[in-house]
Amino acid sequence: MSRVAVVTGAARGVGAAAVRQLAADGWRVVAADICADDPGVGYPLGTREQLRQLAGEWPDSVRDVVADVRDQAQLRNAVETAEREFGGVDAAVAAAAVMAGGRPLWQTTDAELDALFDTGFRGVANLARTAVPAMLRRAEPRSGRFVALASAAGHTGLYHLAGYNAAKHAVVGLIKGLATDLRGTGVNATAVSPGSTRTEMLAATAAYYDLDDVDQFGPHQLLDRILEPEEVAAAVCWLCDERSSAVTGTVVHADGGFTA
């Protein structure tokens, strides 16, 4: 029987790469994204067309759902879509996040902090609060997986990105607490902390530092290059797999050695 996943932030970046890899591995996936811009974020977010195109690559196994992770009711609709069309939920990937900042914390606006925490932290919590009960509804023995995208910024300070640092530290803390709540249930909770990865979010970050090219972040990582979304998604998808059964309450550092 095919396993079923719900992935947020799925229109592009690591979220889209995770959807593609899961579908290629035989999963059925509900791919969710807000498909709209956020006034607290200074760059365009994923679009409805990108999400439709992703689902069109896998018409038998991927369903696209417009959902704002800040709205628990919209996420509940995504989870119910997975249960109705595919029979349940075995994994949930919280990949939706935004970047805002580029100034000292005392110059960071309320709108920027709201965007960082409402999407990057509360969105993770909202997905857990909707998807985990669906995983617990699965018959025993269960092997559910909740995987959040944290960041190297969740483990170290980054210049002029204190709000982003704080939101990602909060994600790491949430995962530790969630895993503890899930003790003995058969559902694991983990996070993946990427380093600099070739995404629109990294391009926005480069603009904060007046960098012409995202590849200029490469020397900060031991690999001496930035990562591709597919490399980070590979760690995410392994954590979704039943073979990751020994891993919970912790972080996989898919960061190219950024935090080494």
| Enzyme catalytic residues | 164
Closest C-alpha among 98, 100, 144 to residue 121: 98
Query: Around Cβ 250, how many Cβ atoms within 10 Å?
Result: 14
With contact defined as beta carbons under 8 Å apart, do 197 and 228 qualify? yes
For residues 169-200, one letter each, b for 16 or more C-beta atoms within 10 angstroms of the residue's C-beta and e for the rest, the string is bbbbebbeebbeebeeeebbbbbbbbbbbbbb
Identify whether the C-beta of residue 10 lies closer than 8 Å to the C-beta of residue 32.
yes
Q: CA geometry: angle at 90 spanning 239 and 71, to 5°?
A: 95
The conformation of residue 33, written as its DSSP 8-state character, comes to E
